[in-house]
Chains A and B, each alone.
Chain A
Amino acid sequence: MASISSPDTARQNTARRGLYARLSIGQKRTLWAWTFLAVPILFYVVIRFYPTGNAMVLSLQEWNLLGDRSWVGLENYRTLFSDPVFWQVFRNTFVYLLLGTPISLVISFIIAYHLDKVRFMHGTIRALYFVPFMTSAVAMAWVWRWFYQDVPIGLFNNWLATFGISQIDFLDSTTNALPSILAPAIWAGLGFQIIIFMAGLRAIPRTFYEAAEIDGVSTWTVLWEITLPLLRPTIVFIVVLSSIGFLRIFDHVFNMTTANPGGPLNSTKPLVLMIYQTAFSSFDMGYAAAQTVVLFTILLIVSLIQLRLLRDR
């Protein structure tokens, strides 16, 4: 009897000790791994994925924050794509990207390349380039806004007036305003890019340069054949980061044009500012969500292309 009942008891014991005891070691490891992973996953689901999903649903609805949401189908997207302001804003966003990224890349590389060779006050000079990156974008934008004013208060126009040159409308012009706003935005990001470039330059083994020196090739060839190819991962990294940064430009534009956000005549308005205005001054949440989905798609496409380039390496 005892011998017959013993497997039963064993089974009961197992059942009592729960499912956990029946798992193999490998399964247990997986379980623990998932338990720990669950924390960041939960965090991401709650603060990232849920709002993202919600925004996508909201883009198909109409909502003014006060009342109930009502379904409108693709109406928000239809309005968006037939809105000439959206296409203007779309164009501006890409002008920020297509001017900002290459210009900041070239300038930061040139500075990093030469700074790498400077020994005199190296730390101080590097710090000077890094200071704008640490400064609050809002404060910086307001200072530049003051620089750009007309006589009698604007710094640049006062210089021009001193030399008898006629004033330039920096911000009050549909053609000059965007580059005027882009300039401090580029300047603000330079410090970070210079530091990354310098780290990249330091990581290139000296032996390549020594070999090149023995072969007696020109500085230009060294730059073109050794430095730049070996810097490729660094360059891709900076391009991805700065592209996302310029596609999401907001603080500089908003603070330099607060009275007439994105003006004059929408000539400086980026997509993020349009979203902000639609959501928090017109309280048209569904329409703003549709714009957000479009921005999300653009960022996704740009990032995928750039990651693809990174993989080719």
Chain B
Amino acid sequence: MHRPFRTALAALATSAAALSAAGSASAQEVTIEYWQYFFEARVNAMEELIAGFEAANPNINVEMTHFPYADYRTRTAVAVPSGEGPDVVQLFYGWLNDYIDEGLIQPLPTDTFSPEMVEAEFFPMVGAMERDGAYYALPTAVRSLALFYNERILEGAGVEVPTTLDELVAAAEATTERDGAGNITQVGLTTGMTAQDHHWFREVLIRQMGGEPYLDDYRTVNYDTEEGRAALDFYLGLEEQGVTQSGFMDEPQAAFRGGRAAFHIDGSFRIGALNGERGLQWGVTELPATNDGTQSNYSSYWVNAITSSAEGPEYDAAVLFMEYITSPEAMQIWLDTVGELPARVEVGMTEENANDEVFGPFIRGLEYANTTFFADESAQRQVLVDMIERVQLQDMDPGESLSIAAEAEQTILDDYFGE
């Protein structure tokens, strides 16, 4: 009675061992999860990258999940700390510090992503992703600003594409149109601090006037200065000279897409939308320089990072995946599919890409771009929106409004850095 039972048990144990052996043989079959927000071109590009990666690494499956942009930040912020989130996640660069502080993302291994390699091979603003000698995240693509122009309006007014700020103002003046009562019906240049102008003001105009918008790694506001005032006067002057009207046609990009604006400053992410606009003939050029040739630009990006929930084989797979999606091939695919700029210098500055009619101005802008560190981007943008409105709607003295803005933004930074 005892013996057959024991034999059966032994047989069971053997087959279980065989089963688990088979299990460990296929243990290299690993699935990792990747999250990003939904934007059709980005999802398509990522599907292409995942297919390429899985072909090269047959044991690894990558599952992509995407959420609507509006929910994305909240969803990741809820999921990642609970450990229910992805292994590799796409984050806006401005959110990274919070994720590092809370230990929610892991540093990238320094043997594959050594700081020396990243500094040598990526565009300089990526340096903000380094902390204590290790990189925590890397972008596939980056964004910068450039000056879009409506070719038909320029031709009609007989103006050349401007290269300096003075030329821009003159060209905008020549292309602004008004009705009999003096109401603007077509603006020379679109403006609106609520759109990209707050970046243009912070990182471009202030620097072009010789200023430095922030000190101490973006912890101290430094634009309540003569240079900051010069930048503000230039910006306010645009409306005073009647070449623009903030809020014209509700949004700057709407005015440009509707063919009612000659010039429009916007990011590289606008290219896709403009391509789809029928009847709009547009071109793009680098942001105008000062008369002495000073140039500046603003760059932002989304990064990919490995979360703390990736462990063991999943971590190894995640590292391989990170390596693949930050490779030169991946960046070229991303540029071709999404139209976002490569984060590596070697890919961006190829003869073909740097001189591309559309991407060229943005890519060349990356070489002199700065990335603002935001503690709370929407709150900091609001500070500059309010600064302009106090002058335009309440007739406040520009200098006073500038001081209030600098102080308000300093409070936001101090709260964030816990001072």
- The interface of chain A, by Cβ under 8 A from chain B, is 64-67, 145-146, 149-153, 157, 161, 164, 166-167, 171-174, 259-260, 263-265, 277, 280-283
Q: Are B393 and A66 in contact (CB under 8 A)?
A: no
B81 interfacial by beta-carbon distance below 8 Å: yes
Q: Are A260 and B393 in contact (CB under 8 A)?
A: no
B237 interfacial by beta-carbon distance below 8 Å: no
CB within 8 Å for A152 and B260 given contacts A161-B181, A166-B181, A174-B394: yes
Q: Are A264 and B389 in contact (CB under 8 A)?
A: yes
Other than A167-B183, A263-B389, give 12 A-B pairs with Cβ distance below 8 A.
A65-B77, A66-B77, A66-B80, A66-B99, A150-B184, A151-B185, A152-B179, A153-B250, A172-B247, A172-B393, A259-B194, A259-B195
B382: nearest chain-A partner, CB-CB:
A260
CB within 8 Å for A281 and B247 given contacts A161-B183, A264-B393: no
B379-400 interface (Cβ within 8 A of A): 379, 382, 385-386, 389-390, 393-394
Give Cα distance in the complex from A174 to B379, angstroms.
Answer: 19
Contacts of B24 in A (CB 8 A): none
* 8 closest A-B pairs by CB: A259-B194, A65-B77, A151-B183, A67-B102, A281-B378, A66-B102, A152-B185, A264-B389
CB within 8 Å for A149 and B249 given contacts A67-B81, A281-B378: yes
Q: Are A64 and B98 in contact (CB under 8 A)?
A: yes
Query: Which of B73, B101, B184, B250 lies at the interface centre, i.e. has the most chain A CB atoms within 10 A of its CB?
Result: B250
Q: Which residue of the partner chain, among B80, B181, B194, B376, contacts A260 with CB atoms under 8 Å?
A: B194
B64-95 interface (Cβ within 8 A of A): 73-74, 77-78, 80-81
B245 interfacial by beta-carbon distance below 8 Å: yes
Give Cα distance in the complex from A36 to B192, angstroms.
Answer: 58
Give Cα distance in the complex from A153 to B185, angstroms.
Answer: 9
Q: How far is the CB of B3 from chain A (nearest CB, A)?
A: 48
**Can you identify 12 A-B contacts, CB atoms within 8 angstroms?**
A150-B183, A150-B247, A151-B179, A151-B183, A151-B184, A152-B183, A166-B181, A259-B192, A259-B251, A264-B393, A265-B390, A280-B73
A64: nearest chain-B partner, CB-CB:
B98
Q: Are B250 and A145 in contact (CB under 8 A)?
A: yes
Contacts of A265 in B (CB 8 A): 386, 389-390, 393-394
Q: Are B249 and A153 in contact (CB under 8 A)?
A: yes
B104 interfacial by beta-carbon distance below 8 Å: yes
Q: Are B181 and A66 in contact (CB under 8 A)?
A: no
Give Cα distance in the complex from A264 to B184, angstroms.
Answer: 21
Give Cα distance in the complex from A166 to B182, angstroms.
Answer: 9
Q: How far is the CB of B401 from chain A (nearest CB, A)?
A: 11
Q: Are B378 and A282 in contact (CB under 8 A)?
A: yes
Q: Are A260 and B102 in contact (CB under 8 A)?
A: no
CB within 8 Å for A150 and B251 given contacts A167-B183, A265-B394: no
Q: How far is the CB of A284 from chain B (nearest CB, A)?
A: 9
Q: Which residue of the partner chain, among A66, A260, A280, A283, contacts B385 with CB atoms under 8 Å?
A: A260
Give Cα distance in the complex from A66 to B91, angstroms.
Answer: 13
Contacts of B77 in A (CB 8 A): 64-66, 283
Contacts of A174 in B (CB 8 A): 389, 393-394
A153: nearest chain-B partner, CB-CB:
B249
Q: Are A282 and B379 in contact (CB under 8 A)?
A: yes
Q: Are B393 and A173 in contact (CB under 8 A)?
A: yes
Give Cα distance in the complex from A124 to B339, angstroms.
Answer: 53
Give Cα distance in the complex from A157 to B246, angstroms.
Answer: 16
B321 interfacial by beta-carbon distance below 8 Å: no
CB within 8 Å for A282 and B376 given contacts A66-B80, A66-B102, A259-B194: yes
Contacts of B379 in A (CB 8 A): 281-282
Q: Are B250 and A277 in contact (CB under 8 A)?
A: no
Q: How far is the CB of B80 from chain A (nearest CB, A)?
A: 7
Q: Are B78 and A65 in contact (CB under 8 A)?
A: yes
CB within 8 Å for A150 and B78 given contacts A259-B195, A265-B394: no
Contacts of A264 in B (CB 8 A): 389, 393
Contacts of A173 in B (CB 8 A): 393
B248 interfacial by beta-carbon distance below 8 Å: yes
Q: How far is the CB of A255 from chain B (nearest CB, A)?
A: 12
Contacts of A277 in B (CB 8 A): 378
CB within 8 Å for A66 and B98 given contacts A260-B194, A265-B394, A282-B376: yes
Q: Are B250 and A149 in contact (CB under 8 A)?
A: yes
Give Cα distance in the complex from A264 to B390, angstroms.
Answer: 9
Contacts of A145 in B (CB 8 A): 250
Contacts of A164 in B (CB 8 A): 181
Contacts of A152 in B (CB 8 A): 179, 183, 185, 249, 260
B412: nearest chain-A partner, CB-CB:
A282
Give Cα distance in the complex from A164 to B182, angstroms.
Answer: 11
Give Cα distance in the complex from A151 to B182, angstroms.
Answer: 10
Q: Are B184 and A67 in contact (CB under 8 A)?
A: no
Give Cα distance in the complex from A78 to B185, angstroms.
Answer: 48
Q: Are A263 and B102 in contact (CB under 8 A)?
A: no
Give Cα distance in the complex from A52 to B152, angstroms.
Answer: 58
Q: How far is the CB of A168 from chain B (nearest CB, A)?
A: 12
Query: Which of B104, B246, B248, B389 lies at the interface centre, i.e. has the most chain A CB atoms within 10 A of its CB?
Result: B389
Q: Are A150 and B179 in contact (CB under 8 A)?
A: no
Q: Which residue of the partner chain, among B104, B179, B192, B245, contacts A66 with CB atoms under 8 Å?
A: B104
B282-334 interface (Cβ within 8 A of A): none
Q: How far is the CB of A290 from chain B (nearest CB, A)?
A: 15
Give Cα distance in the complex from A167 to B183, angstroms.
Answer: 8
Contacts of A146 in B (CB 8 A): 250
Q: 1/0 contact trace for B99-111 toward A, CB 8 Å?
A: 1011010000000
Give Cα distance in the complex from A78 to B250, angstroms.
Answer: 37
Give Cα distance in the complex from A283 to B217, angstroms.
Answer: 22
Give Cα distance in the complex from A146 to B254, angstroms.
Answer: 12
Q: Are B385 and A263 in contact (CB under 8 A)?
A: yes
